[in-house]
Chains A and B, each alone.
Chain A
């Protein structure tokens, strides 16, 4: 399969999707949306892919929307920015958050606008020391989209979220780590290796169980404790039926390394 805007690799049960429009700082145009969506949809269903790693080529991670697609004629009617959100960005965020396997994100450079929020939608975010996050929307009179207004307050609290969203300042990888926005900061030249190592590790884990963890933690954002306790009971029921749970217990008893199949 040849893609114009991304590089796709499948190895050792890991699906690696690399944004590949380095000259445009990997900003999204329609083709990129279509290609990314096609790949993520296929991986969601593919039992042989047990972890996904999203990374990017060049110096930036993703600058959000390609504004060349958005030149606004001051004399024309106002554009409908809701269209591309409805058609592309919202489904993309849902593909990531509802992916029934872990999604690791390697942020190599600037992640701005929707690019920052696509990273925050992922399960485990690694960032290079030189990477940064910018909620650039406010500078153009826009609102953080692609889940930004939902992820930010949940990740860093309202005060920090408000500051980031209203000021649009650059947040360094270190700051992002301190605020609890991302999982880990690594040396620039280690990023790709670390992300791949993480992906390979996760691909050997009990994938089905991980998908239930993901579901539970996402549900917690909207649930009260009672509902969440019930959900934990339900998901544990499902997890207990899985092959990997039995294998895990057996391996523990027999003092051997478990051989997980992801189901």
Chain B
């Protein structure tokens, strides 16, 4: 079964569409595994600069697959490969843009939170409804959400399962843009194309630098940032960027 569709609509940009409409794109292990495998393969492909993940217009992903979850007892959950799959998605080193239309619930919301940039349609609704099933979000929902929006809101949303409409998600930094539902994917691809034109090595260290903010102290973070800065000085793209600016022309980055 192909639970995801992959296409390359623009130069350097890959679009991954979650494709289990009959299950509202519920993220079963097979879907996550296909996603992780695909991302690993794209990570190694130098022609790929940025990746956009989306669902369909009604639904990004409506959570984990409950039928799958129901079959797991304590022992099998401990042996479940799911956390590893999430980890592999998190380790993707290139810019990952989430284009969210409709429902992003539970694991779907958590998948969106794995994105570097989230763009949502005006019909987007985020929620962590796990509490209604007597569970808690198990793929970083409590952690990543709290780091984005603060403890107050994260507590409230995780404890109630309340829906977070697109407008509120924008207010609190869960997404960076709202657009009409029919244009979400187009605008995500345009953003991806814009980023794809940048210097790939600089983009890579920007992602590393920003992803480290929750792992290290400010002084350590500043050191890391400085190291990246110094390291970029050894790249030809940096020279090209400066030259192009001085010569008033567009730079041509080559990732070297």
Contact = CB atoms under 8 A, between A and B. Distances in A.
Interface string A231-244: 10011011001000
Nearest to A241: B182
B224 interface: no
Nearest to B187: A234
Interface string B173-205: 000000110110010000000000000000000
Contacts of A241: 182
Nearest to A231: B180
Interface size class of A (residues with CB under 8 A): under 10
Contacts of B179: 234
Contacts of B182: 238, 241
Contacts of A234: 179-180, 183
A95 to B, nearest CB: 16
Contact residues on B (Cβ < 8 Å of other chain), bracket: under 10
A231 B186 CA distance: 15
Interface in B133-184: 179-180, 182-183
B165 to A, nearest CB: 12
Contacts of B186: 237
Contacts of A237: 183, 186
Nearest to B181: A238
Nearest to B180: A234
Interface in A214-242: 231, 234-235, 237-238, 241
A194 B100 CA distance: 43
A241 B182 CA distance: 10
A231 to B, nearest CB: 8
Interface in A233-261: 234-235, 237-238, 241
A231 B183 CA distance: 11
A162 B163 CA distance: 34
A241 B186 CA distance: 13
A238 B186 CA distance: 11
Nearest to A212: B180
A139 to B, nearest CB: 35
Contacts of B180: 231, 234-235, 238
A-B interface, 6 closest residue pairs, ranked by CB to CB distance from nearest: A234-B180, A238-B182, A234-B183, A238-B180, A234-B179, A237-B183
Interface of A: 231, 234-235, 237-238, 241
Given A238-B180, A241-B182, 9 more contacts: A231-B180, A234-B179, A234-B180, A234-B183, A235-B180, A237-B183, A237-B186, A238-B182, A238-B183
9 contacts: A231-B180, A234-B180, A234-B183, A235-B180, A237-B183, A237-B186, A238-B182, A238-B183, A241-B182
